[in-house]
Amino acid sequence: MFSIEAFSLQDMTELSGEIRELGNGARTQEEIADRIVHHLFDGFTLKKSGEKAFALVRFFISLPYLDLEAPLKRYVESRRAEYRDLRPDTRCLTLLATCGQMEQWCDRTRSHEHRVIPIDSPDLATELPMIALLCKQFGFESNSVADVVLTHPDRQSNSVATVESDVVMDQDQATFNVFFVPEALESPYIYAQEEFVKPYGIKSVLGFGGILSAGQIFAVILFSRAPIKREVAQRFKPLALSAKNALLQVPQDKVFALP
């Protein structure tokens, strides 16, 4: 078990090795993503109480619309009025795995808002602004990054670069990175304040992600019930490479779990 309040360099080395091994014997990326979110959810505790440190852990991956499984294509088609410029090669941020303290948070098909969102949709900035900024950091240009600023009046005087520096920890890194919100309460970067952040006591949010292959990224988001220090958040960056190594243990066209 690891403590999120005191996650050390030694802990990081140990956890990185564990995540790399999670690809062993897997048949699909979804299977590996599911192992990763469960491993993180089960592996971190609160220092004083010993309870689970994370209320929710989610794993996202970007996929062309053409490669989505049928139910996800139907979901996107049902919102065709919102996603007018949808093409077969449109990159869509897709929820591949989820694990949390509520039963409904452990089934990706039960997510209403985050099952799949085209990366160039303003919805990405509204619902997952941290990932919108991460997409821009990795060269996935869209209107979403500007929308992160425009959606929040208190930040309209800031440049996009300033907004990015608030969340994305290493501005010079274009392969792997950590994004971090130390204070989740009332943060414009965290969706569903009244429905999620306040009732479930979310203190900090951090994530790590990177480029998996040409035109494809992944991101893991962890919603913590304890405040996370910046130096602790920075230690999650190597986990992105470990997660990539795990995912690459299956063919890249084997994304969704087999029926």
The residue extents of the domains of the chain are 2-60+94-247
Cα separation of 79 and 248, whole Å? Answer: 32
Query: Phi/psi of residue 222, each to 5°?
Result: -120, 125
What's the pLDDT at 86? 82
Rounded CA gap, 151 and 256, in Å? 33
| Number of alpha helices (DSSP H) and beta strands (DSSP E) in the chain | 9, 8
Give the helix ranges, DSSP H, for the chain. 9-20, 29-43, 70-77, 122-127, 129-137, 144-150, 160-167, 230-234, 237-247
**How many whole angstroms separate alpha carbon 45 and alpha carbon 53?**
4
Provide the pLDDT for residue 163.
39
Backbone angles phi, psi at 53, to 5 degrees: -80, -30
Low-confidence ranges of the chain (pLDDT < 70): 137-174, 259
pLDDT, tens digit, 9 for 90 and up, residues 108-153: 999 877 899 888 777 777 777 777 777 776 666 554 444 443 344 3
Chain centroid to Cα 115, Å, comes to: 12
> Looking up tokens 């792997």, which residue turns up?
176
> Quick check: 220 and 58 in contact, CB under 8 A?
yes
What does the pLDDT read at residue 233? 93
Nearest 10 degrees: Cα torsion 104, 189, 179, 101: -20
Residue whose token pair is 């230690």: 235
- The whole-number pLDDT of residue 82 equals 73
Cβ–Cβ under 8 Å, residues 94 and 104: no
Question: What's the pLDDT at 28?
Answer: 96
Strand partners, 203: none
Pairing, β 2-3 against β 216-224 = unpaired
Q: What pTM was estimated for this model as a whole?
A: 0.87
Tens digits of residue pLDDT in 203-213: 999 989 888 88
Contact 34, 42 (CB under 8 A): no
Residue-level pLDDT at 141: 53
What pLDDT sits at residue 147? Answer: 44
pLDDT, residue 22, reads 98
What CATH class has 2-60+94-247? alpha beta
- Closest by CA to 36, choosing from 19, 56, 21, 52, is 19
pLDDT at 8: 96
Q: What pLDDT, on a 0 to 100 scale, did the predictor assign at position 166?
A: 62
Q: Calculate Rg over the CA atoms of the chain.
A: 17
